[in-house]
Amino acid sequence: MTMEAGTARSAPSRAATPHTKFLSGALCLDFANTLSGRMDEAPVERIETHADLIAWAETGRVLAEGRAEILRAGGAGRRAEGSTILARAFALRAAIHCAFAAMARGRPPVQGAIDRLNPFVLEAARHRRLEPAGGGAAWRWHGPAETLDQVLWPIALSAADLLTASSPIRIKECPGPHCGWLFLDRSKNGSRRWCEMAVCGNRAKARRFKRRQNREQQEVGNG
């Protein structure tokens, strides 16, 4: 049948949502960003169940239309398998983050991350076929519609494509507190600093403004 193409828990005081924004510029980085604040005592986890994983994929249009409903029904009836797929998703996410966080910090991805990614990439490639499309050909996914781990295939290949990109890429890590999201900086001068200016960027501006106010008040008090 043809188809279109870490385990931290969220802190009680910082409610997580099953979805995250798709703004990194690459599917694999968006997936890595489903865990925020990795260096915090209580990272925010946005995918806590297999159903959350499907919902995330549906939001990001990772799955073909109607596929999410099939997988939700399959996961509900095969909970043990769904839990196994979720564990594999976390392993894939950790390997992706390890590889690209190193690049964001000016280092090459460690061999261990590549070794952990390879089985996912090989499995995904096994389910992809070229088929005629328009005047040429296009990749199509092949496999039973109810295969629960199919959501991982595009993510794994996205990581492989990004790691083997022929043109230079700039991977960055958002410095915002409780963030650490990874993203592609496609600005001409490499000036993008924040995952999202309206969120982390504005929060940084607010902190700077507050610090400036505090300094001015201290100076007035000492005058």
**105 and 174 share one domain:** yes
How much is the pLDDT for 216? 45
191 three-class SS:
coil
**18 and 122 share one domain:** yes
How much is the pLDDT for 148? 92
Q: How far is residue 72's CA from residue 58's CA, in Å, rounded to a whole number? A: 11
**214 and 181 share one domain:** no
- Under DSSP, the state recorded for 46 is S
**154 and 202 share one domain:** no
Contact (CB, 8 A) for 26 and 65: no
**10 and 113 share one domain:** yes
Contacts of residues 193-196 at CB distance under 8 Å and 24 or more positions apart, as own/partner, are: 195/23, 195/24, 195/33, 196/21, 196/23
**126 and 28 share one domain:** yes
Q: Which domain holds residue 220?
A: 193-223
Among candidates 9, 2, 5, 1, which has minimal Cα distance to 155? 5
DSSP code per residue over 7-43 = -PPPPTTS---S-----SSSHHHHHHTTEE-TTSSSP
CATH code for the domain in which residue 72 is found: 1.10.3300
Per-residue pLDDT of the chain (223 residues; tens, 9 = 90+): 444 444 454 443 334 445 578 999 999 999 999 998 887 888 889 999 999 999 999 999 998 888 999 999 998 889 999 999 999 999 999 999 999 999 999 999 999 999 999 999 999 999 999 999 989 999 999 988 889 999 999 999 999 999 999 888 999 999 888 888 999 999 888 888 888 876 685 555 555 445 454 554 565 566 5
**133 and 205 share one domain:** no
Total domain count for the chain? 2
Q: How far is residue 33's CA from residue 1's CA, in Å, rounded to a whole number? A: 31
Residue 140 makes CB contacts below 8 A (sequence gap 6+) with 2, 3, 4, 5, 128, 129, 130, 131
**168 and 216 share one domain:** no
**156 and 219 share one domain:** no
The reported pTM is 0.83
**74 and 129 share one domain:** yes
How much is the pLDDT for 5? 47
